[in-house]
Amino acid sequence: MSIFSSMETTGSALTAQRLRMDVVSSNLANIDTTRAKQVNGEWEPYRRKTVTLASQQSGPAFSNYLSAAIGRSDQSTGKGVKVTQINEDTETPFKLIYDPTDPDANDEGYVQTSNVDSLKEMTNLISATRSYEANVTAFNANKSMLSKALEIGK
């Protein structure tokens, strides 16, 4: 295990949380987009995107922790986090707004708008921001510990 492995772990978490914030920002920016892409010849509104994260393990998680607990250093306890997918939310329906003057209105006068909920997105943004801040704190604490360890050798 390298002395920098904890920095790599927090670095991967910082990257993942930054991507989460980027996706949330994209969702909020496209909240009123009615023509995002064509599906079967019809324009479809913007669909909310979500990020799926997973741990980066070199093997089964339990065996890594067990090896570390009994003092075997040939395996690492973890490699951080990675983004596995950015998915479109197909479960939440589009919102319908009555506006017969809109060029995207259907025959009944309703316009389909994105399925982005600003309250949900702001909650996700706050969560990602707090996670990012916690990882910055962990990174700085690790950096401080490594600095103090180097001072011991002086």
Find where tokens 């669909």 sit: 47
For residue 55, the surrounding DSSP H or E stretch is: strand 49-55
Band of pLDDT at residue 63, cut at 50, 70 and 90: low
pLDDT 10s digits, 89-115:
999 999 999 999 998 888 999 999 999
Q: Residue 37 has what pLDDT?
A: 83
Instruction: Please say if the pLDDT value at position 36 is more than 90.
Output: no
Q: Does 59 score more than 70 pLDDT?
A: no
Give all strands (DSSP E) within 2-152, no chain letters.
Answer: 37-39, 42-44, 49-55, 81-88, 95-98, 110-113
How much of the chain, in percent, has pLDDT values that exceed 90?
58
Express each pLDDT in 9-33 by its tens digit: 899 999 999 999 999 999 999 998 9
Q: Is the pLDDT of residue 120 over 90?
A: yes
pLDDT higher for 68 or 128?
Answer: 128
Cα distance between residue 81 and residue 145, in whole Å: 22
pLDDT at 42 over 90: no
